[in-house]
Amino acid sequence: MSQLVEQVVLITGARKGIGRSLAEHYLGHGYSVVGCSRKDSDLRHERYHHYCLSVTDETSIKSMFADLANRNGRLDVLINNAGIASMNHVLLTSVDKAREILDTNFIGTFLMCREAARLMKKNQFGRIVNVASVATPLKLEGEAVYAASKAAVISFTQVVAKELASFGITVNAIGPTPIDTDLIKSVPEEKLDQLVRLQAIKRRGTFSDVTNLIDFLIRPESDFITGQVIFLGGV
Amino acid sequence: MADQERVQQAVYRAVDELNKQLPKGISVNKSPDAVLYGKTGKLESIDVVTLIMEVEDQIKAEFGTSITIADDRAMSRENSPFLTVGTLTDYVAELLN
């Protein structure tokens, strides 16, 4: 995957979990990697640059893109990985928590896509990968707001794919199954096992399942694949 | 500082409301040791949801304060506040303070 011009990938929520694993993966494949998260990252690499920001903060995001454009001059890949979840019955869910989930998972994805596409458009090339969830198609109880926020990401992906197609930008979404990260640490084991039993392939996901799928979607040869949502595990 | 006795009475009133809604033969005692959830609990998870809602309503009526009991803070505790009537009462008092 090495290339003559150093390609730039931006990963949100890059400090830990899937985001961190993606950052290390693409550094290993010669990309220049830009990460962001609310807290600072301890990832140190000559081709890694980290921004501390919330994906819901439009002003900070615009500053980051201005800086990124100055430093790198281009953006090839955006992976909208940042996301939060909160398992709770709808009757006990506060409006503050509901807004927080929608803000991070949907508004964050929207803001990053908009700003990234403005930069990608200049090169007439871009690959955007949004992160959905199996919680939406499986209609998981206890995840009403989270599943709805990811349903919004799916609809957004499908429409934006059309709006950006003429700029050479593809927009797809991946739907991971449960992977052992902080996102699911408060979900009881029994619930996770029940969820895995609903998949065609009955095991938890791994970081490499995710990187493999994203590798496929961002390849130059994948320029005829857009507006698609691929769920892992056979959901 | 919220009066522990007033909190306990509010929780007991919520237990009364829950008991009215439970199937015949199942009820929760108005005692700090009464088990709510876990291996020895008799309640379904939806019953615990109902109780928490009732407690939120009773606290609002008693103290005029809206609290959210089941949030990330509660869920991530090493010792769940939802194990017994007593642990729930203590947690609610903590939230009020």
Domains: count for chain B:
1
The domain segmentation of chain A, as residue ranges, is 8-234
- CB distance A33 to A45 below 8 Å: yes
Q: Strands of A77-80's sheet, edge to edge?
A: A48-52, A32-37, A8-12, A77-80, A126-131, A169-175, A229-231
What is the C-alpha to C-alpha distance for residues A105 and A99, in angstroms, rounded to an integer? Answer: 10
A2 pLDDT band (50/70/90 cuts)?
very low
pLDDT of residue B62: 96
Q: Is residue B83 within 8 Å of residue B35, measured between CB atoms?
A: yes
CATH code for the domain in which residue B86 is found: 1.10.1200.10
Whole-angstrom Cα distance, residue A79 to residue A23?
A: 10
List the single residue in A91, A94, A185 with the smallest CB-CB distance to B71.
A94
In whole angstroms, what is the distance from residue A63 CA to residue B62 CA?
A: 48
Nearest-Cα residue of chain A relative to residue B76: A186
Q: What's the pLDDT band for A44 if we cut at 50, 70, 90?
A: very high
> Does residue A84 have a pLDDT over 60?
yes
Span B54-88, pLDDT tens digits: 999 999 999 999 999 998 888 878 888 999 999 99
SS3 A172: strand
List, for residues A111-164, the tens digit of each pLDDT value.
999 999 999 999 999 999 999 999 999 999 999 999 999 999 999 999 999 999
CA A102 from centroid of its chain's CA atoms: 14
Residue B11 has pLDDT above 80, yes or no: yes
Tens digit of each residue's pLDDT (9 = 90 or more) over A163-189: 999 999 999 999 999 888 877 777 778
Q: What is the mean pLDDT of residues A13-40?
A: 97
pLDDT at residue number B2: 60
Among the four given CATH numbers 3.40.50.300, 3.40.50.720, 3.40.50.2030, 3.40.50.620, the one describing domain A8-234: 3.40.50.720
Chain B residues close to A86, C-beta within 8 Å: 71-72
Containing structural domain, residue B38: 4-96
Out of B49, B71, B76, the one facing A97 most closely (by C-beta) is B71
Among A87, A89, A94, beta carbon nearest to B49 = A89
B66–A contact, CB cutoff 8 A:
no
* Cβ contacts of B81 on chain A, cutoff 8 Å: none
